[in-house]
């Protein structure tokens, strides 16, 4: 039981009673290990992906949604795609695509080059998803997200992210509205100075209570809700079937003729889906006109 507690993935929300500031701490172990196990990621790519995964968990907790939050970075660099998502059911998944040899000490700018980071919030109740975009800039994922909040949300936000082979962790502070601007800025500066002392080792190894006490033991910190997170994929046989339909009947039949089956694998969880000739024929048949001898595509 103790081992389960150590391995579980948690997000802890907190506020400061003596300052208009809220915060979140997250530590991912099992979900990070599951994401990383899907592909043989070079260490530098894995570091970026782990930081993005922790960031998605932090950001998803700041918005009220019934759906999912997606962080997607596309670039012209060796890492062409970083994509992670966190759902309102507190599930996570993610992947990265890269080309060529990646050195272990490659920086974010070397890996991403020119590109954009898009933050998309898909809410079941909303007719259209919300999306904010920021260009690839800064030296870390955390810096890039801080710039997004400064430009798009006008919210003072600080983020610290770190990963190693076992854990992805993060800490976020965000300023809340306050009547006294002078005191507001003074509190923000003071608490940020304290937070700046956090180390990667502390983010990845200390539990929330221990870390917050170490950083803010002279402040009035109140713990709020704790969220348990886990890896889960939203792929399904039906979604794969829909993808095959988009290929078109002729292309699907050509694949059947060449390989005997149409097989697709989910890039997030590596689940393989196979469709044999009968399955494929069923995808393109019209159940309302099953007796008709027609070549019309429906």
Q: What is the pLDDT of residues 114-161, one digit of tens each?
A: 999 999 999 888 888 889 999 999 999 999 999 999 888 778 999 999
Q: What is the pLDDT of residues 5-46, one digit of tens each?
A: 444 799 999 999 999 999 999 999 999 999 999 999 999 999
Q: What is the pLDDT of residues 225-253, one digit of tens each?
A: 999 999 988 778 888 888 888 888 888 88
Phi first, then psi, for residue 244 (nearest 5°) are -65, -40
Query: Which is higher by pLDDT, 103 or 290?
Result: 103
Q: Give per-residue burial for 167-189: e unless 16+ CB within 10 Å, then b.
A: bbbbbbbbbeeeeeeeebeebbe
| Helix, strand, coil tally for the chain in percent (to 5) | 40, 30, 30
Q: What is the pLDDT of residue 287?
A: 55
Q: What is the pLDDT of residues 262-293, one digit of tens each?
A: 888 777 877 788 888 888 888 888 654 434 44
Contact 104, 43 (CB under 8 A): yes
Per-residue pLDDT at 104 exceeds 70: yes
State how far the Cα of 280 lies from the Cα of 274, in Å rounded to an integer. Answer: 10
State how far the Cα of 234 lies from the Cα of 236, in Å rounded to an integer. Answer: 7
Give CA separation, 130 vs 70, 88, 146, 156, 168, in Å: 10, 15, 18, 20, 26
Q: What is the pLDDT of residue 294?
A: 38
């Amino acid at each position: 039981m103790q081992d389960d507690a150590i391995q579980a993935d948690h997000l802890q929300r907190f506020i400061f009673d003596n300052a208009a500031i809220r915060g979140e701490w997250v530590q991912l172990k099992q979900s990070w290990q599951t994401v990383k196990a899907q592909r043989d990621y070079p260490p530098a790519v894995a570091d970026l992906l782990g930081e993005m995964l922790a960031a998605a968990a932090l950001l998803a907790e700041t918005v009220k949604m019934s759906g999912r939050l997606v962080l997607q970075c596309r670039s012209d660099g060796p890492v062409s795609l970083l994509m992670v998502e966190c759902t309102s059911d507190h599930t996570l998944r993610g992947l990265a695509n890269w080309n060529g040899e990646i050195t272990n000490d490659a920086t974010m700018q070397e890996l991403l080059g020119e590109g954009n980071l898009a933050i998309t919030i898909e809410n079941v109740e909303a007719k259209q998803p919300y999306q904010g975009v920021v260009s690839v800039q800064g030296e870390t994922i955390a810096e890039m997200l801080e710039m997004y909040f400064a430009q798009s949300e006008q919210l003072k936000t600080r983020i610290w992210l770190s990963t190693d082979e076992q854990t992805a962790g993060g800490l976020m502070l965000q300023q809340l509205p306050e009547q006294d601007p002078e005191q507001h800025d003074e509190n923000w500066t003071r608490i940020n100075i304290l937070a700046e002392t956090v180390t990667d080792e502390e983010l990845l190894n200390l539990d929330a209570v221990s870390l917050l006490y170490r950083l803010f033991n002279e402040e009035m910190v109140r713990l709020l809700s704790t969220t348990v997170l886990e890896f889960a994929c939203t792929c399904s046989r039906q979604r794969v079937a829909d993808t095959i339909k988009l290929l078109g009947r002729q292309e699907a039949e050509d694949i059947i003729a060449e390989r005997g089956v149409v097989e697709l694998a989910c890039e997030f969880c590596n689940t393989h889906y196979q469709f044999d000739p009968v399955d494929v024929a069923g995808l393109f048949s019209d159940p309302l006109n099953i007796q008709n001898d027609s070549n019309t595509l429906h």
